[in-house]
Amino acid sequence: MIVQPADRLRRLPEQFFSALVRKANAYIAEGYDVINLGQGNPDLPTPSHIVESMREAVLDPVTHRYSPFSGLPELKEAIADWYKREFDVDLDPASEVAILFGGKVGLVEISQCLLNKGDVCLVPDPGYPDYWSGVAMSGGEMVMMPLLRENRFLPDYSIIPENVLRRAKLMFLNYPNNPTAATANEQFFRDTVDFAARHGIVVAHDFAYGAIGFDGEKPVSFLQIPGAKEVGVEFYTMSKTYNMAGWRVGFALGNRDVISLINLVQDHFYVSLFAAIQRASITALRSSQDCVRELVAVYESRRDVLVDGLRDLGWDCPAPKGSFFTWVPIPNGMGSVEFADYVLDKAHVVMAPGIGFGKSGEGYVRVGLLAPEDRLREAVERLGRIGL
């Protein structure tokens, strides 16, 4: 028997970065010391007080049962309180917060909640590839919004054609940005709220790196802007703020109609997140945030080591204001895949080719800050030795 996949699976984009992992693993298998700066996987452990909270919760038999489908009310309350403290945003825990099985799940689900076949979704280019996955499975149509250096890697709404705007129902944004590491200010988000309201477009703001801002600048939450909850939602994850990437817990926040739709979809896919993980997340949100400030300081110090080192080599390397990435213009005119392959082969350093994030990513590589400072210095030294 030949199994025929559903059409929606045929529409899925190729997992570009799985090829990157295979290439890196092939060099590791041959015995090379590979410095992997190409992935977005936090390298530091989850803070010990969160781990201990999880351990205690796992030992409690109450957590071994199904928890409420839409999540523990106590966790929703902790999220709302945390957003109020951090961003002065008021949220109703019962109707404006959805618990997610990791932020990625929500970013895929929202397209399935809102898009019918032929509806347009505005997508940043370059951007996080899983936005594409959700649109593909929904049958929607992507229209890319170029993020260009001359516009501070912000989309220019004025160049979107009117015939596209008439069909657009959803728009993804992401600041601090992956992959460009750009940040957005309040004025940009005010313009976004006005744009979305005029054209009836739901905004999905991916705030995964919302805790990671440098040089004393705190990232701006989309939900801080008056009217934001009327036009959209924000996605947050515990992965980056608390080094909980493997725990798979995130939130969708904001417009209550969209939150209700996300909860409806999840009712058909899941039977709620393991209660012990939810309890540990409560501990993370309600405890001292010193661990978060310490983590941001680590990333900022790593940023300085990497950026200063690349500049010493003569590279044009802007210092990012947020996220744990740098978005580096390729110094010698190669294509991004060719350049990344060359660096892996000659220096055994992994960088992510910009083209993997969209057409406008060509000419760049994404370099992560997810290695100790000594490894970042060594990576720079290796690049210098091969004449880059």
**Domain closes at, from 286, 321, 347:** 286
Q: Would you state the pLDDT for residue 7?
A: 82
Q: Is the dihedral of CA 9, 13, 16, 17 positive or negative?
A: negative
User: What are the distances in angstroms from CA 245 to CA 111, 231, 299, 317, 365?
Assistant: 23, 29, 16, 28, 23
Residue 17: pLDDT over 80: no
Which carries the bigger pLDDT value, residue 181 or residue 269? 181
Give the pLDDT confidence of 228-247 residue by residue, as tens digits.
999 999 999 999 999 999 99
**DSSP H stretches of helix in the chain:** 7-10, 16-29, 48-59, 73-87, 103-114, 130-138, 162-165, 186-199, 228-231, 238-241, 256-269, 275-286, 290-312, 336-347, 373-385
Predicted local distance difference test score (pLDDT) of residue 288: 96
Mean pLDDT of the 340-365 span:
95
Which segment of 79-88, 129-138, 186-195, 283-292 scores lowest on mean pLDDT? 129-138
Q: What is the pLDDT of residue 378?
A: 97
How far is residue 198's CA from residue 162's CA, in Å, rounded to a whole number?
Answer: 12
Is 32 part of a structural domain of the chain?
Answer: yes
Whether 374 and 252 map to the same domain: the answer is no
Q: Does 238 map to a domain?
A: yes
Encoding tokens for residue 32? 């090379």
Q: Looking at residue 264, which CATH number applies to its domain?
A: 3.40.640.10
If asked whether residues 134 and 195 sit together in one domain, one would say: yes
Question: Which of 286, 308, 325 marks a domain boundary?
Answer: 286
Distances (CA, A) of 360 to 127, 139, 201, 386: 9, 23, 23, 27
Is residue 53 very low, low, confident or very high in pLDDT (cuts 50, 70, 90)? very high
pLDDT band at 2 (very low <50, low <70, confident <90, very high): confident
Say yes or no to pLDDT of 320 above 80: yes
- Residues 288-316, mean pLDDT to the nearest whole number: 96
pLDDT of residue 14: 76
121 to 14, 67, 116, 134, 300: CA distances (angstroms): 19, 34, 10, 10, 34
Q: In the prediction, which pLDDT does 253 show?
A: 98
What range does the domain containing 338 cover? 7-46+290-385
End-to-end CA distance of the chain: 53
What pLDDT was estimated at residue 211? Answer: 96
